[in-house]
A and B are shown apart, each in its own frame.
Chain A
């Protein structure tokens, strides 16, 4: 199975900050990398596909980059509604594996 490792596991930041979350795959996955946001008690929400393409309706402050094994999710100016847990996922091959999550908390 392809292992997905996110860093950091948790992150404290303030409204207006720029934050970056990284995701590393245990082998090359080209651009088969997606990002999700999950708030407590809620269903994961699909944000970004193909490493850098924004899903319709997702604010432009979210952006993704990377290819191969190293990827990142950047939020350019944190808003109160962005505090959540973020997951990366590879769909290069089955099983489609997820990172362990990065919890973004208010400082």
Chain B
């Protein structure tokens, strides 16, 4: 059974960097049959995909254009986790942040396992 456990602060000051970690159990961040994703959810933006990291003989990253200049997602194979960093945050980045695994179901890659969610508030 795959489990994803998120950790990180729930309050970040404007202009600072939001940092979250997602620890994986029951799978490997280096798995060739998964991708590892970060999303967020807010009343104004709905469910928004932020980016992903995955390994296919080498590491790849994809990011949403809306955050591409501010976001970094990194895998850590020694700790079997992946992290999100979002820089220069503003109150508009206030949301519940989720990590999620996308699995290979008939090649459609749904998000089958999710972290518990972290409410991140951007406020001074």
B:90-124 near A, CB below 8 Å: 98, 102, 105-106, 108-112, 114-117
Q: Which of B48, B108, B117 contacts A49 (CB 8 A)?
A: B108
Q: Is B11 an interface residue (CB 8 A)?
A: no
A:1-48 near B, CB below 8 Å: 1, 31-34, 36, 43-44, 46
Residues of A within 8 A of B108 (CB): 31-34, 49-50, 91
Residues of B within 8 A of A34 (CB): 108, 110-111
Contact B102 A87 (CB under 8 A): no
Residues of A within 8 A of B47 (CB): 44, 87, 89, 98, 101
Contact B106 A95 (CB under 8 A): no
Measured in the bound complex, the distance between the Cα atoms of B105 and A50 in whole Å is 8
Nearest-neighbor residue (CB-CB) of B62 within chain A = A94
How far apart are A99's CB and chain B's nearest CB, in angstroms? 8
Chain B interface size band reads 20 to 34
Residues of A within 8 A of B64 (CB): 94-95
Measured in the bound complex, the distance between the Cα atoms of B105 and A87 in whole Å is 18
Chain A interface size band reads 20 to 34
Measured in the bound complex, the distance between the Cα atoms of B41 and A44 in whole Å is 11
Residues of B within 8 A of A91 (CB): 102, 108-110
Residues of A within 8 A of B48 (CB): 98
Contact A49 B106 (CB under 8 A): yes
Contact A89 B106 (CB under 8 A): no
Contact A43 B114 (CB under 8 A): yes
Q: Is A79 an interface residue (CB 8 A)?
A: no
Q: Is A74 an interface residue (CB 8 A)?
A: no
Residues of A within 8 A of B49 (CB): 94-98
Residues of A within 8 A of B26 (CB): none
Contact B112 A43 (CB under 8 A): no
> With contacts A50-B105, A50-B108, A53-B106 known, is A44 near B46, CB below 8 A?
no
Nearest-neighbor residue (CB-CB) of A53 within chain B = B106
B residues whose Cβ falls under 8 Å from a Cβ of A: 37, 46-49, 52, 62, 64-65, 98, 102, 105-106, 108-112, 114-117
